Amino acid sequence: MAHPRCHLLSRSRLLAEPEVLEDITAAIGGTPLVALDRLADGAPGRVVAKLEAMNPGGSVKDRIGLPMIEAAERAGLLKPGGTIVEPTSGNTGVGLAQAAAIRGYRCIFVMADKQSEEKRALLRAYGAEVVVCPTDVDPDDERSYYRVSDRLAHEIPGAWKPDQYANPANPEAHYRTTGPEIWDATAGRVTHFVAGIGTGGTISGASRYLRERNRELVVVGADPEGSVFSGDTPRPYLTEGVGEDFWPDTYDREVCDTIVRVSDRDGFLTARQATRVEGILMGESCGTALWAALQTARQVADPEALFVVLLPDSGRNYLGKLYADEWLRRAGVLGAEEQVADYDWRDTELGPVVRHAAPPSPA
């Protein structure tokens, strides 16, 4: 039997090796850029995707989990043995859960009932508790996942709510990591950055960094129909993880040059088309951002334009919805006799596009 001290020395030498990471959070970031030449064929310029599904937790939200926790620890808001309570569409929950597992925190995640069962199961796999709330209620309704999370954070001793919608560590994480990665990977040649808007942290933080390097960078936001960012009237929609019915504090309302409104159908079926021709399994919000990027690229006459579209997550969480043809038909996304392969984004056209959208002034 090896002496305990020998075991500790072996572990110390192992961690000193550059190939061995201290823990899973050290694997976050450094995601690749992949060309989408087949899908974007016919569009001027080039469209490339930043594949955030390559993060260890499977999404872009891995980037904000640990920084929010560390900021709370420094501020004394989260103490050993505490509980993290957060409303999430799933991905932020995973980002928080993997960091919480390492630091020994309990997690309770509050989700809207439109989120996939795969996402709920995934959070439970990390040891988190999941509370499900109705989707079709006002944000200030006591049954909404925002208000339920507020109540739980207030009632549970030692609880802390990260509040990704207002936490400055959210956009700051993308300013420090996502933006620099895009700039370095393109050697500064990126001309357009396209991303969906949810909390607004990703597009705000990454764009702030990129604009500091290139003031001429064009930023395009992608927003599902029924979300407020593109000036639509708030109403339920199918797409998960993007869009909102209120204006988050983490969203810089001046960051987007344009915001493209995307239907559930175009977002879903563009994701399916991309998976079919590029071999990239992607989530619903990826299709939203991708359709906006492709349509915008088609409008730009510059063959030297380089569009970087951020794809937030993988399609593994949506196998029972986005990748289930019968579910798409029941949801009205796909016609009764229509086949997914019949859809081509090139046969569609841009709808409403707004510039510098901002919330209405108080009455």
Can you list the domains of the chain with their CATH numbers? 27-54+168-354 (3.40.50.1100), 62-160 (3.40.50.1100)
- Please indicate whether residue 61 is annotated as part of the active site: yes
Q: What is the mean pLDDT of residues 114-141?
A: 89
Cα gap 133→155, rounded to integer Å: 18
| pLDDT recorded at residue 363 | 46
Cα gap 32→51, rounded to integer Å: 6
pLDDT band at 137 (very low <50, low <70, confident <90, very high): confident
Q: What is the mean pLDDT of residues 172-198?
A: 98
Cα–Cα nearest to 152, from 88, 200, 95, 203: 88
pLDDT in tens, 254-270: 999 999 999 999 999 99
DSSP assignment string, 286-326: HHHHHHHHHHHHHH---TT-EEEEEE-BBGGGGTTTTT-HH
* Residue 260 dihedral angles phi and psi, to the nearest 5°: -100, 130
What mean pLDDT, rounded, does the chain reach?
92
Cα gap 260→256, rounded to integer Å: 10
Cα gap 285→307, rounded to integer Å: 17
* Residue 96 dihedral angles phi and psi, to the nearest 5°: -70, -40
- Token digits of residue 249: 């504090």
| Residue tagged active-site, from 50, 61, 119, 161 | 61
Cβ–Cβ under 8 Å, residues 252 and 209: no
CA distance readout (Å), 272 to 73, 78, 181, 283, 319? 41, 41, 27, 9, 11
pLDDT in tens, 60-117: 999 999 999 999 999 999 999 999 999 988 899 999 999 999 999 999 999 989 888 8
Cβ–Cβ under 8 Å, residues 164 and 64: yes
Cα gap 231→213, rounded to integer Å: 30
pTM: 0.90
CA terminus-to-terminus distance, the chain: 75
% of residues, the chain, pLDDT over 70:
93
- Least confidently predicted of 132-146, 234-248, 264-278: 132-146
Cα gap 37→289, rounded to integer Å: 16
Please determine, for residue 3, whether its predicted confidence score (pLDDT) is greater than 70: no
Which residues in the chain belong to E strands, given as ranges? 33-35, 46-51, 83-87, 106-112, 129-133, 159-160, 192-196, 218-224, 258-262, 306-311, 353-354
Cα–Cα nearest to 118, from 161, 170, 59: 59
What is the CB neighbour count within 10 angstroms for residue 278?
Answer: 18
pLDDT band at 118 (very low <50, low <70, confident <90, very high): confident
Cα gap 41→346, rounded to integer Å: 10
Cα gap 49→220, rounded to integer Å: 14
97: which residues sit within 8 A by CB, 6+ positions away? Answer: 57, 65, 107, 109, 123, 126, 127, 128
CA distance readout (Å), 132 to 77, 161, 234, 320? 25, 17, 21, 18
| pLDDT recorded at residue 139 | 79
Say if residue 77 is exposed, middle or buried (CB neighbours under 10 Å; 0-12, 13-18, 19+): middle
Q: What is the DSSP letter of 257?
A: S
